[in-house]
Amino acid sequence: MKLKISVTPLRRGTKVDKVTLTIDNIKVEVPKDYTILEAAKLAGIDIPTLCFLKGINEVGACRVCLVEIEGARTLQASCVHPVSEGMVVKTNSKKVRDARKSNVELILSNHNRECLICDRNKNCELQSLSEELGIREIPFEGIKTEAIIDDQSFSIVRDQSKCILCGRCVNVCRNIQKIGILDFVNRGFDTQVAPAFGKSMADVPCIYCGQCIVACPVGALKEKDDIEKVWDAIENPDVHVVVQTAPAVRAGLGECFELPIGTRVTGKMVAALKRMGFDRVYDTNFAADLTIMEEGHELIDRVQNGGKLPMITSCSPGWIRYCEFNYPDFLENLSTCKSPHQMMGAIIKSYYAQKKGIDPKNIFVVSIMPCTSKKTECQRPEMNSTGYRDVDAVLTTRELGKMIKQARIKFLELEDEQFDQDLLGEYTGAGVIFGATGGVMEAALRTVAEVLEGKVFEEVEYTAIRGVEDIKEATLTLGGMEVKIAVAHGTANAGKLLEMVKLGEKQYHFIEIMGCSGGCVTGGGQPHVSAKTLMNVDVRAERAKALYEEDRILPIRKSHENLQIKKLYEDFLEKPNSHKAHELLHTHYKAREKFPTTEACCQEEAATTKDCMFE
Amino acid sequence: MSKHILMKENFEKLDQFIVMQKDKKGALIPVLNEAQKIFGCVPIEVQKKISEGLNISLAEIYGVVTFYAQFSLVPKGEYTIGVCLGTACYVKGSQKILDRIKKEINVEVGKTSPDGKYTLEATRCIGACGLAPVITINEDVYGRLVEGDVPEILKKYE
């Protein structure tokens, strides 16, 4: 392959100075910028934590990780206390155990302890901690936090009565996503984690990425449950229910059944879906290939015909909402392509319905997604190109896990099965890698490179744009032209990149942005991973491996070589970006005001009441 | 929200102040203090302006505003009545005084009367323990009160 690629990873430096300390009579040598918690981990000592979330929430708020330090007046929070030379620490004295227990008892005293019927039953960090600490009674009686439930949005439900004020959601939203929808409001016992002005999640510039849900150790934040809607459709004999699964789901679902992180469960997932009673089981990857055809040709057209550049990918609905609220100047830069599952829905209700002779009004499309934002995306009024909703219900990976359990399917014992193969069944390796940051870019390049160079490349792996660095850049020579690309994941990085573009510091032709750090594999709809596990594993990389593995074993790895995609164009869509393709597969965006105020005040930019939600 | 406080000139004053504070660390509190002074309160329109100016999320600003008692989301009344519930005043019966004021002006603690006349606040110790129990009405201080004194005092502020 002739492509020249240069990469500039942005990395932090590491310190090498070390100190020696003693923890529970074990001598351990660690870098001097370590906390006691990190040092203990290195020594194989397990200190319990609750509010701690590595790299996201290191604030010492919950006082569960208390340890005794020789010479210190009081117990100290090990998650924030730095190590020092000669320090002597006890993590398991009676004083420490009693204090931890009291602190958790206090947290539990005003917690809504309806564990049996909680969404996080058996998967709750507070529940586990309470069990590990041997808490058998709550000696503190008092007022409970009022159960205010906000279920107004299509994506995220908040239950104040379960919130333990750990701040994990606050900090993931404020620092990792740089959005800041949730924060601590009020004071003392009345303290809550909530959006500004007591607004619902439906009325704030939330992008519904669901990273707050993933960060929540308890049941205070969860996705809007659509499980019953889907069971009802399956139960109805008049409805033809088609299910599609996003690439990242296969890399996460296994964790719902205690499989190691990054286990690829494609075959078992398909088998389970068939047993659950779906009439057709397809892979969204087919539509990912279709996206590449549309988006790739859109890029070529923009480059060759002086269209708006840089073109930015549009697969991630969280990113789209972020752009609509925060960077309306860039709306024209967004590819007009719908996200793959919406394309799939539109094709199912047109091409598929036609070929199968089924009235689209009797088709119910379910998308299994690693994403909570797609629940809101599928409700956007414009997502109905056939006259029917492209997609009727979106379930998260977690919800699918629950449904499989409800159906009492022995997931681990299932024999692998294949997706339905007719019409929309084929997919390539390019489609699979959509689920990881850099994947959409790589998939697009596999096609765009061949179209522009007019020849076939043997090597298809663009490893330079893989991995979890904040912002990745590369320059390629395609068809005699220098093409500059960039990849960003997580909206903080997206914002950083767009600011550079805005100021003219950086120029690109093509940018991939995904709303969640790591891309869809670590989307807000993926299974919860405990804070303890997150200390040891980079889930983003582990789950991405599963996708790159599937890419490698597939016979076809370029979207434009997908035979059923070719047939779809021959029989139905004519060619990429045709009128029909535009009607079904493309969409538009609109600037949204962050906090519309109805009151007309005398500000220069008079606050208008733009429609902020989807009526 | 009464419209007259959201005047263009008020927003211009706020803008000027934000520009001065913008790049300083910990700019939020001084800006909020100034906003409270300019507008008499910090409603959503004002907080939005601060959010844009300082590039801090609205939720964070709202969090700070609801944490500190000196900030108010709605305009305060013409007269702010503060009843000290500090230890000395409390043991000298300030709760009774507070209850009587509530009854007389028909306003709950922390609220403002619909006509915009009175705001009633229960305060922590104001440092006038020698005069306990103490109330303040705007800048005026009244001490060594008994419940029966309340109607007479309020008459001055009708």
pLDDT in tens, B45-78: 999 999 999 999 999 999 999 999 889 998 888 8
- What CATH number is given to the structural domain containing B124? 3.40.30.10
At A607 the pLDDT is: 35
Residue A333 has pLDDT above 80, yes or no: yes
Total domains in the fold of chain B = 2
At B7 the pLDDT is: 87
- Distance, in Å, from the CA atom of A248 to the CA atom of B13, rounded to the nearest integer, reads 51
Residue A525 has pLDDT above 80, yes or no: yes
Mutate to test the interface with B, among A169, A182, A601 (most CBs of B within 10 A): A601
pLDDT in tens, B125-134: 999 999 999 9
A601 closest CB neighbour out of B6, B57, B63: B6
**Contact flag B58-A196 (C-beta cutoff 8 Å):** yes
**Whether the Cβ atoms of residue A366 and residue A395 lie closer than 8 Å to each other:** yes
At A535 the pLDDT is: 94
Read off the pLDDT of each residue in A223-238 and give the average, rounded to a whole number: 98
The helix/strand/coil state of A132 is: helix
Mutate to test the interface with B, among A179, A597, A602, A612 (most CBs of B within 10 A): A602
Q: Would residue A520 show up in a list of annotated catalytic residues for this protein?
A: yes
Read off the pLDDT of each residue in B31-48 and give the average, rounded to a whole number: 94
At A14 the pLDDT is: 52
Q: Which range among A45-54, A323-332, A602-611, B123-132 shows the weakest confidence by mean pLDDT?
A: A602-611
Residue A81 has pLDDT above 90, yes or no: yes
Residue A286 has pLDDT above 50, yes or no: yes
Other beta carbons within 10 angstroms of residue A2's beta carbon come to 11
The residue from A28, A62, A92 where one domain ends is: A92
Query: Is there a single domain that holds both residue A312 and residue A413?
Result: yes
DSSP state string for B32-68: HHHHHHHHSS--HHHHHHHHHHHT--HHHHHHHHHHS
Residue A7 has pLDDT above 50, yes or no: no
pLDDT in tens, A97-117: 999 999 999 999 999 999 999
Phi, psi of A53, deg, nearest 5: -145, 110
Would you list which residues of chain A are within 8 Å, Cβ to Cβ, of chain B?
174, 179-187, 194-197, 204, 594-595, 597, 599, 601-604, 607
Query: Is there a single domain that holds both residue B86 and residue B133?
Result: yes
Residue A607 inside a domain? The answer is no
pLDDT in tens, A553-587: 999 999 999 999 999 999 999 999 999 999 999 99
Residue A26: domain span: 18-92
Read off the pLDDT of each residue in A239-253 and give the average, rounded to a whole number: 98
The pLDDT mean for chain A works out to 93
- Grade residue A601 by pLDDT with cuts at 50, 70 and 90: very low
At A144 the pLDDT is: 85
Report residue A434 as tokens.
């959509």
- Distance, in Å, from the CA atom of A62 to the CA atom of A54, rounded to the nearest integer, reads 15
Contact residues on chain B for A180, CB-CB shorter than 8 A: 56-60
Query: Is there a single domain that holds both residue A372 and residue A460?
Result: yes
Residue A269 has pLDDT above 80, yes or no: yes
Query: Is there a single domain that holds both residue B61 and residue B107?
Result: no
Query: Is there a single domain that holds both residue A160 and residue A270?
Result: no
At A612 the pLDDT is: 33
Strands A183-185 and A192-194: antiparallel
- Grade residue A597 by pLDDT with cuts at 50, 70 and 90: confident
Query: Is there a single domain that holds both residue A292 and residue A175?
Result: no
| A104/chain B closest Cα distance in angstroms | 25
**Contact flag B63-A183 (C-beta cutoff 8 Å):** yes
Query: Is there a single domain that holds both residue A150 and residue A238?
Result: no
The helix/strand/coil state of A290 is: helix
The residue from B46, B67, B88 where one domain ends is: B67
At B124 the pLDDT is: 87
Residue A611 has pLDDT above 60, yes or no: no
Residue A2 has pLDDT above 50, yes or no: no
| B8/chain A closest Cα distance in angstroms | 5
pLDDT in tens, A176-221: 999 999 999 999 889 999 999 999 999 999 999 999 999 999 999 9
Nearest to B42 by CA among B144, B136, B50: B50
Query: Is there a single domain that holds both residue A515 and residue A465?
Result: yes
**Contact flag A604-B3 (C-beta cutoff 8 Å):** no
Read off the pLDDT of each residue in A485-505 and give the average, rounded to a whole number: 97
| A391/chain B closest Cα distance in angstroms | 33
Residue A24 has pLDDT above 70, yes or no: yes
Residue position matching structure tokens 């069944």: A425
Query: Is there a single domain that holds both residue B63 and residue B127?
Result: no
Percent of chain A's residues with pLDDT above 70: 94
Stated pTM of the model = 0.90
Q: Would residue A469 show up in a list of annotated catalytic residues for this protein?
A: no
Read off the pLDDT of each residue in A529-534 and give the average, rounded to a whole number: 96
Query: Is there a single domain that holds both residue A206 and residue A242?
Result: no
pLDDT in tens, A65-74: 999 999 999 9
Query: Is there a single domain that holds both residue B13 and residue B61?
Result: yes
Phi, psi of A219, deg, nearest 5: -95, 25
**Contact flag A184-B56 (C-beta cutoff 8 Å):** no
**Contact flag B67-A186 (C-beta cutoff 8 Å):** yes
pLDDT in tens, B92-111: 999 999 999 999 999 999 88
The helix/strand/coil state of A596 is: coil
A478 or A435, which is more confident: A435
Residue A32 has pLDDT above 80, yes or no: yes
B7 closest CB neighbour out of A195, A204, A602: A602
Q: Which range among A287-291, A461-465, A529-533 shows the weakest confidence by mean pLDDT?
A: A461-465
**Contact flag A599-B48 (C-beta cutoff 8 Å):** no
Residue A497 has pLDDT above 60, yes or no: yes
Cis (ω within 30 of 0) for the bond into A48?
Answer: no
Give the residue ranges of the annotated binding site of B for [2Fe-2S] cluster.
Answer: 84, 89, 125, 129
- Grade residue A608 by pLDDT with cuts at 50, 70 and 90: very low
Residue A9 has pLDDT above 50, yes or no: no
- Distance, in Å, from the CA atom of A268 to the CA atom of A251, rounded to the nearest integer, reads 12
Percent of chain A's residues with pLDDT above 90: 89
| B6/chain A closest Cα distance in angstroms | 6
Residue A145 has pLDDT above 90, yes or no: no
Q: Would residue A153 show up in a list of annotated catalytic residues for this protein?
A: no
Residue A2 inside a domain? The answer is no
- Grade residue A8 by pLDDT with cuts at 50, 70 and 90: very low
**Which chain A residue lies closest to B43 (C-alpha atoms)?**
A197
Query: Is there a single domain that holds both residue A519 and residue A561?
Result: yes
- Grade residue A16 by pLDDT with cuts at 50, 70 and 90: low
For residue A429, the 8-state DSSP code is: H
Residue A101 inside a domain? The answer is no
Residue A613 inside a domain? The answer is no
Residue B38 inside a domain? The answer is yes
Strands A311-312 and A363-369: unpaired
- Grade residue A599 by pLDDT with cuts at 50, 70 and 90: low
The helix/strand/coil state of A370 is: coil
At B138 the pLDDT is: 87
Query: Is there a single domain that holds both residue B32 and residue B98?
Result: no
- What CATH number is given to the structural domain containing A50? 3.10.20.740
At A511 the pLDDT is: 97
Query: Is there a single domain that holds both residue A240 and residue A189?
Result: no
- Identify the H or E element spanning A76: strand A76-77
- Distance, in Å, from the CA atom of A263 to the CA atom of A252, rounded to the nearest integer, reads 7
Residue B90: domain span: 79-155
At A598 the pLDDT is: 66
